[in-house]
Each structure stands twice: as C-alpha cells, then as structure tokens.
Chains A and B, each alone.
Chain A
C-alpha cells in the first residue's frame, strides 16, 4: 500500500495532510510570500528617510504594516470560489490549521524584515529612538495583548468574510477588516466618553477604558476566528 493510500484511508488528524493543504494553498499565497518581505523592507527604507524630517510620519509608516497584516486574508480570494477546496480529502481541522498557520504565523514572520532592517541595518539613532519609543509606549502586557487582539480581530474578520462570501470576496474581506477597525474605534470613543462624563481622573479613566477595550478585543478575536474555522471546515458551496 502506498503512503498516499494509507493517508487517504485514515480519518485521523495528520500532519502530512496539513502540509498537503499548505502545498495546495501555495499558489494563492505565493505572491504574498514574495511581496510582503519586499513591502516590509520598503517600509523600513521609507521610514529611514522620513525620520529626518517627519518623525510622526515615520511612526505612521510603522502602523501601516498592521494594515498589511489585516488585509492579508484577501490573498485567499484569488480563486473566484472554493468548490475544489471544500471537496479536498482533508479534515476540516486540517484545513483550518493550515489557513490559521498562514494568517497567524507566516504573515507576521514575512513582515519581520522591517523590524530587522530597522534594528540592525539603519545607522540612525533617531530611528532606534522611534523604535524604542514605540516599544516603550506599548510595553505593558495589557497594551501588547490589546494591540495584537485588535489586529487579529481585524484579520480574522477579513478571513471570515473571504471564506463566507460567494461573490466579491476580496472587497468583502477588506470591508470586514475595516468594519472591525471602525467598531473598535467607536467602542473606544463610546467607553471613553461615558467614563469621562462620569468623572474621575484622566489616568484612571484611560486605564479603565483600556481594560474594557482589551477584553472586548480579545472576545472579538476569539469570535471571528471561531466563525472563520466553522466556515472553512463546514461551509456549503
């Protein structure tokens, strides 16, 4: 019996099949693997030149990378429909694992060059200062979790949309990511507003606001990834 026959006859979760699903996804994510590191390096270079005149612009460029992560699920919309994907002889968990591996591990790793470039190859103390400022500003564990939760909530929303939609998948994915971002901003505004009018000192209000938004962002992240997993594994065409 060939190994492929053994694999096809077993219904238990298999790493080989997850690898096979990743290979199946390769033509869709190939442009991302090429474009993202280049984009990341380009951002680092732009940041390097911007830091001399507009340090705030340089920081904005750093945040642009987050948008690249947010919209990364759009690459899965390269096929107009996923009929062949859903009929692949692999377990739903295996398909979900392969896709989550791409969006949660591969994409962030591909965008690392900006950080590496900035930290090791830019001989400019101001850039390093910017990095340390940015790092300092988000040094508390809660802030790191909130930042990641918001980012992944937006990415997860895009992922959910790209697999749930039947038409205009890329457009809907972008809309979902931006919608989630808007919801986050609205949430911050509403909580901040009501906490402010209720009185209390600024530090206390901002701390409370952060705590509530962190929890909401984490819940939203779990929710969108759960919905994405469901739609990837059990969607009907």
Chain B
C-alpha cells in the first residue's frame, strides 16, 4: 500500500517547525527512516498514522487523507511507539479489546510470534521487563495484519537472540504489498530487511531512495592506506577508511547505512 506525502509541514508552536515541505511517495516494502534526534522522524510517523494533523500539505494513505481518521484508513495503519501503553492487562485481553478493530488480525500469527519470543500471552504487561513488553508489543503489531506498519525503535531493549527472531518474524509477517517504516538509530538490528532508505534532517527529507538504486549509482569501499581518488565521501572508522565512490563499473558492494547517512547530511546531491 502506498503512502503519499504532499508538501507536508508541521510545527510544534509557531517557532519550532518539526517538518518542512516533505514530499515523497513511499511504496510497499520495508523502509529505514534515519535522522538525528529531533529531526522529525516520530512526527512524520504520527502524521502518517493520523495522530497529528499537518499544518500544510497532506498525507494520503491509498488515496485517503490520514488526518480524517476514517475507519477505512485507520484499520490499515498501525503505529507502534516505544513503551506503548496498551489498554489491557495482558496480550490475551488486548486481542479481545483491540484486535477486533483489525479485520486481518491473525491469532495464529500472534501465537507463532509470541512462541518465537517465548512470551506467555497470559502474562501481565506490568510483570514484564521493558524488553519483554517491547517484544510482546512488536509480536502483536505484526499480527494485526495492517497494510502500513510504522515502527518507532522496534528493537529497543531486545537481546541479540530476540533481534534475530524479530528479523525472521518481519520477513515472515510482512506481505509484499505491505509498507513498513522503521524509524531507528540502531539500523543494524534489522539490517538485511530494508528495501529503501529515507533520511530526515532538521525536518527536511533529504533522501527517499530504494537500496538497489543507491547501489546502482554508488559503491561502498574500505581501504587502509589512502582513500580512492574518486571518493565522494570518506570517514575513518577503526583504522580503515570507508569511502563512497561512484559505481561506474558495476561494483558489487553492501550498503553502509552509516556512511550514506553522514554523506547525505553533508551533501544531499551525492546521489
């Protein structure tokens, strides 16, 4: 399902714009949203989820404005923040009171997800640690079967095994026509899953590009001595030089999100 952002602006009060003229089309797939603290990531997710209303521009979900909060739109979207306060004491009760609103909610998917995380659905949220609560929340959100899932720091507090389990779960639960936006600072948590990259800086969208198209145009290389002469951007990390060079000769390399993020922030014309 497609998300269309048309000249989206939002500000908290008159003097603090959080987003300025954001325009983009977000197609189905798993998208990584990167940005510094206060760049406007959570604001953007809230606008898509209809939890905030744009001061200018609009956000369309499958053609319908998110800000109208219509059931036909909201039943396809779910925003999962950090430390979500659920209206129930445990997952079992949550399914009864909240899951009923989502027609594609699957009890089987939820059971499989919870089993993978080793969480008892009858366990009270109040008895769970922060990490366990986050696992239960992500497992539940993925079982809702929504077409647009907005995850804000989904792997916060998760241990190494749980992060691997989350990767498997996302690969299993996210359909080809579903759109997932993952806002995180720990992009390595779900590294192999991302289809595209969005970069926000000071409320402006600097980049919205599929990973494949980035790798078609750019290559990421590591050298020990000097940086390649054609390097567009270079940083020193643990004694090696990591550079971005134009991909003129079909060089196969893996995307370095940290490098591309820093490069885009410095010069968003790099692509």
Contacts and interface: CB of A to CB of B under 8 A. Distances in A.
Contact of B51 (A24, A28, A86, A92): A86
B46 A237 contact: yes
B49 interface: yes
Given A8-B101, A27-B97, A91 B71 contact: yes
B15 to A, nearest CB: 18
A8 B103 CA distance: 7
B53 interface: yes
A7 B105 CA distance: 14
Contact residue range for chain A? 20 to 34
A168 interface: no
17 contacts: A4-B102, A8-B71, A8-B75, A9-B72, A10-B71, A20-B100, A23-B100, A83-B81, A84-B86, A86-B51, A87-B51, A87-B79, A89-B101, A90-B71, A92-B69, A237-B46, A237-B52
A83 B75 CA distance: 15
A136 interface: no
A60 interface: no
Interface string A6-18: 0111110000010
A88 interface: yes
B222 to A, nearest CB: 42
Interface of B: 46, 49-53, 69-75, 77-79, 81, 84-89, 93, 96-98, 100-104
Interface of A: 2, 4-5, 7-11, 17, 20, 23-28, 79-81, 83-92, 234, 236-237
Contacts of B73: 89
A90 B101 contact: yes
Given A8-B75, A9-B72, A11-B71, A89 B102 contact: yes
B102 to A, nearest CB: 7
Contact of A27 (B46, B72, B78, B89): B89
B103 A2 contact: yes
Nearest to B94: A27
A107 to B, nearest CB: 19
B84 A11 contact: no
Contacts of A81: 85
Given A87-B51, A89-B71, A20 B79 contact: no
B74 A87 contact: yes
Contacts of A11: 70-72
Contacts of A92: 69
B97 A26 contact: yes
B88 A8 contact: no
A23 B71 contact: no
